[in-house]
Amino acid sequence: MDTASGLGSRKAETLVDPECDCHGAVLGPLVLDSMHVGPKSNRRAIWLTWPDVWVTVGDHEDGCVPILQGLTGFAQPGEVLAIMGPSGCGKSTLLDALAGRLDSKRRLSGQILVNGRKEPLAYGTSAYVTQDDVLTSTLTVKEAVYFSAQLQLPDTMTPSEKKQRAEATIKEMGLHDAAGTRIGGWGNKGLSNGQRRRVSICMEILTRPKLLFLDEPTSGLDSAASYYVMRRIVGLAKQHDMTVLASVHQPSSEVFGLFHKLCLLSQGRTVYFGPSSNAPEFFSLNGFRCPSLQNPSDHYLRTINTDFDEDIDPGLGGKPRTQEVIKVLAESYKSSSCYRHIQQQIEDIHEMVS
Ligand SMILES: Nc1ncnc2c1ncn2[C@@H]1O[C@H](COP(=O)(O)OP(=O)(O)OP(=O)(O)O)[C@@H](O)[C@H]1O
Ligand SMILES: [Mg+2]
């Protein structure tokens, strides 16, 4: 059985190796492709970078508690970045910080750059689907999406084009059968939770925003619905050069396979950031190989979830405490060539867009 100490020694010989496969994937043709040399070069695509972001709560008197600890990453046009981790690890906080939506209790330090510059996003450039659905309970799905289309879409579109966009988006989210159903709310049953989730997504993707934040877009959806919704979002990202960041809980292997990059957090620290296809290698090199036939996301989350540590029987093969595992993985990531290449890539992005 793997141990935390065994893990540490393997890290040194493997992850610092300059020939690590991560290089090709991180700096490979995908990025050059997305630099929009050619017909797409004049579009307002968004490169979002965050070289070292901290978020704390509390004040100097009571003491500051860090929620996010020095996170580094980027999101690029045409791709979906999945933010994963156990409940309470900081997924929503990271999305809030990147979207400029932190409340006054949470303090941000570090830079978040849009196309290499520290500037607010232009109106209508970004959209955010929050973790909790905020919808008007008295409207039907069709009314809510139609009104939203009429209000949000530009005047250059005719009312019938806006209606068509609304209809198409309702279909894309698999809501055509529920189009006439009232959204409903407390004491006024209407849509199911999964349907409400999809209405929220509908309202925000209507405008095809260049930057899209999705907090748990698939919660309440079964695996088939999650797959179709995420596949559509990935398709939109590619088609419209959208930069998408989505926090996700327990994606199925099919959904996980749709993500381009993975940001795996635990207790506010990065355990892994990079191409999602390289995550199995990272875990494997550190002594936590994903068993065959197991969903990789289940494996990652089980490896780094501390919430149920007391349920682990200490007599079962000396399994390392999750806290140690997280420490080793987070330190291994910080000293890996993957991390250095992410930093290098952020510098390249800044140079490219300036
Ligand atoms: N205003 C606040 N004051 C104190 N602690 C906070 C505050 N906001 C968030 N936190 C803490 O920060 C941590 C991260 O919260 P966050 O909501 O980002 O987690 P999450 O990963 O999105 O969780 P979930 O998967 O359950 O949505 C949690 O431990 C939470 O209790
Ligand atoms: Mg959350």
Residues 11/286, Cβ–Cβ less than 8 Å: yes
Q: How far apart are alpha carbons 300 and 353 in whole angstroms?
A: 34
Nearest residue (CA) to ligand 1, atom 28: 88
The pLDDT assigned to 42 comes to: 38
Superfamily of domain 1-14+51-125+209-305+312-354: P-loop containing nucleotide triphosphate hydrolases (3.40.50.300)
The pLDDT assigned to 27 comes to: 32
The pLDDT assigned to 39 comes to: 36
Ranges of each domain in the chain: 1-14+51-125+209-305+312-354, 135-207
Exposed / middle / buried, residue 102 (Cβ in 10 Å: 0-12, 13-18, 19+): middle
The pLDDT assigned to 17 comes to: 33
Q: How far apart are alpha carbons 26 and 234 in whole angstroms?
A: 19
> Over 80: is that where the pLDDT of 41 sits?
no
CA angle 353, 100, 240 (to 5 degrees): 50
Of all ligands present, the nearest one to the C-alpha of 93 is 1
pLDDT single digits (tens) 76-124: 999 999 999 999 999 999 999 999 999 989 999 999 999 999 887 777 7
For 323-350, what is the mean pLDDT? Answer: 93
Of all ligands present, the nearest one to the C-alpha of 85 is 1
Ligand 1 pocket test target in 91, 102, 297, 307 with most atoms within 8 Å of CB: 91
Q: For a pLDDT cut of 90, what percent of the chain falls above it? A: 63
Report how far apart, in Å, the C-alpha atoms of 193 and of each of 214, 228, 264 are.
16, 17, 26
The pLDDT assigned to 354 comes to: 76
Nearest residue (CA) to ligand 1, atom 10: 67
Lowest mean pLDDT among 1-15, 30-44, 133-147: 1-15
